[in-house]
Structure 1
Amino acid sequence: MKDALDAQRSHWQKTFIQKPEMFGSQPSQPARASAELFAREGVNRILELGGGQGRDTLYFAGAGFRIQMLDYSDSAVEAVTEKARQLDLSESVTALCHDIRAPLPFDDESFDACYSHMLYCMALTTSELEFLSAEVRRVLRPQGLHIYTVRHTGDPDYGTGIHRGEDMYENNGFIVHFFSPEKVGRLAKGYKILGVDELEEGKLPRKLFVVTLRKE
């Protein structure tokens, strides 16, 4: 199983190169909603995990936030950096290549909020996700917000394709980790759960949880 999970990095790298606008240029609905919450909360500096091709990254920057984006694809980081330059947003966007299974390369309490769209449902084991959640908590300021989206076990693809351990299934070369409400609770250690909302996205449609947490 570990080899299959590790191979996802090169698969995403190849996909981003072949499909430079795979997810389109418009921001996701969770990003738009998160930006409204961030504005009400007085958020300034945001950490985005798994920013991909940058549609949400650039939206946050354009809305006036300073954003640090991480992705483990070199091509994605290079593309977002160039898009930010073209949009005159370079002062608001920093993109860095990083594997989030390793410690986050930031000091404690460096960010007001952390955001990720579909990063938590990538090919990551539960223990790796627990480590990541603890790292996010470390780099958030007191009372900082942590918002993430994941596909859940009510999704049409759950239980189909190649089983890759735990609640992970591979379809069309992509491994997805599907979440139950219990898993959301397990990963909320050290946080207060502000909301677990349901959302549909895309053509299947994909069925998501939007999880909103506050650091305790």
Structure 2
Amino acid sequence: MSDQHEHWQRTYRTHPEMYGDEPSEAAVYAARLFRERGARDVLELGAGYGRDALHLARQGFRVTAADFSAVALAQLRERADAEGAGERVRTLEHDVRQPIPLPYRSVDAVYAHMLLCMDLSTQEIRDLVAEIRRVLKPGGAFVYTVRNTDDAHFGSGKSLGDDIYEHGGFAVHFFSAELVETLAAGWELRDRHSFEEGELPRRLWLVTQLLPAR
């Protein structure tokens, strides 16, 4: 088990619902976009305890909620069952450094809130986006958020290399605009806009990229 894996397991045990019950701003946006594009099956990567996955389920989507923390996924399943959304939410324990265990062209949309900016190298991120492209259907949408190089924590804390810095036990890969552009090669980069969330506040980009319809 990696240090980051154990850190997140411990964090979810001691601070359940650490980000609250309400969905993130990004999830509200993603649900609206996915609905407009006629999506039905959504994969969320880095779902945690499910505040965003449950919002997507409440909006009528069938959600596969993936995370590498079994503790978080158990909390998600309990919450989904308690509010009657269990049939619309499937949980999947998965480390995104491994291939996504879903078939080719099997989902309509993929959503990831601050997952790509975890302790992942640039090559691991590129490999993950290639996997996302594999499981998306033609015309599918990918919405993700990442902390960026305008964030107050960028360049401070313990440097792990590759624009990754550790603060309070959490490792973050801060994204440059160039990295966003690189990841969008072969996609339509529909939008990249800045927003703020949480304390400091954290500075993030919300990125929307679309696969060609054919």
Alignment of 1:98-177 (within 5 A): 98-177=94-173
Q: Shift of residue 39 of structure 1?
A: 1.1
Tell me, yes or no, if the aligned pair for 1:84 and 1:93 is still in contact at 8 Å: yes
> What is the TM-score normalised by the length of structure 1?
0.96
CA shift, 1:156, in A, is 0.5
The equivalent position to 2:205 in structure 1, one of 203, 206, 209, is: 209
CA distance in 2, matches of 1:203, 1:9: 23
Structure 1 position 58, deviation (Å) = 0.4
- Quick one: distance in 1 between partners of 2:104 and 2:193? 29
Amino acid in structure 1 at the alignment position of 2:56: F
Q: What do residues 108-157 of structure 1 show as CA deviations (whole Å, max 9, x unaligned)?
A: 01000000100010000000000000000000000100000000000011
Residues 32-56 of structure 1 show CA distances to partners (whole Å, capped at 9, x for unaligned) of 0111111111110000000011000
Residue equivalent to 1:10: 6
**What is the deviation of 1:190?**
2.6
The answer as to 2:19 corresponding to 1:43 is: no
Separation in 2, partners of 1:189, 1:67: 27
Structure 1 segments, 4+ long, off by >6 Å, are: none
| TM-score of the two chains, using structure 2 as the length reference | 0.97
Q: Point out where structure 1 has 5 or more consecutive residues left out of the alignment.
A: none
2:209 is paired with a residue whose SS is strand
- Cα RMSD of the aligned pairs, angstroms, is 1.0
Deviation at 1:169, TM superposition (A): 0.3
Among 188, 191, 196, the residue aligned to 1:195: 191
Partners of 1:17 and 1:142 lie apart in 2 by: 39
In structure 1, distance between residues paired with 2:71 and 2:157: 28
- Is contact 1:152–1:179 with CA below 8 Å preserved after alignment? yes
Query: Structure 2: where are the runs of 5+ without partners?
Result: none
Equivalent residues, number: 212
Equivalent residue number for residue 181 of structure 1 = 177
What amino acid maps onto 1:149 in structure 2? T
For residue 72 of structure 2, what is the aligned residue in structure 1?
Answer: 76
Q: Percent identity, please.
A: 45
Structure 1 window deviating more from structure 2 (122-131 vs 180-189): it is 180-189
- Which residue type is aligned with residue 123 of structure 1? D
Q: Are residues 1:95 and 2:91 paired?
A: yes
Distance apart, 1:63 and its partner CA: 0.9
SS of aligned partner of 1:91: helix
Distance in 1 between residues matched to 2:36 and 2:49, nearest whole Å: 27
SS at match of 1:146: strand
Instruction: Return the offset for 1:26.
Output: 0.4
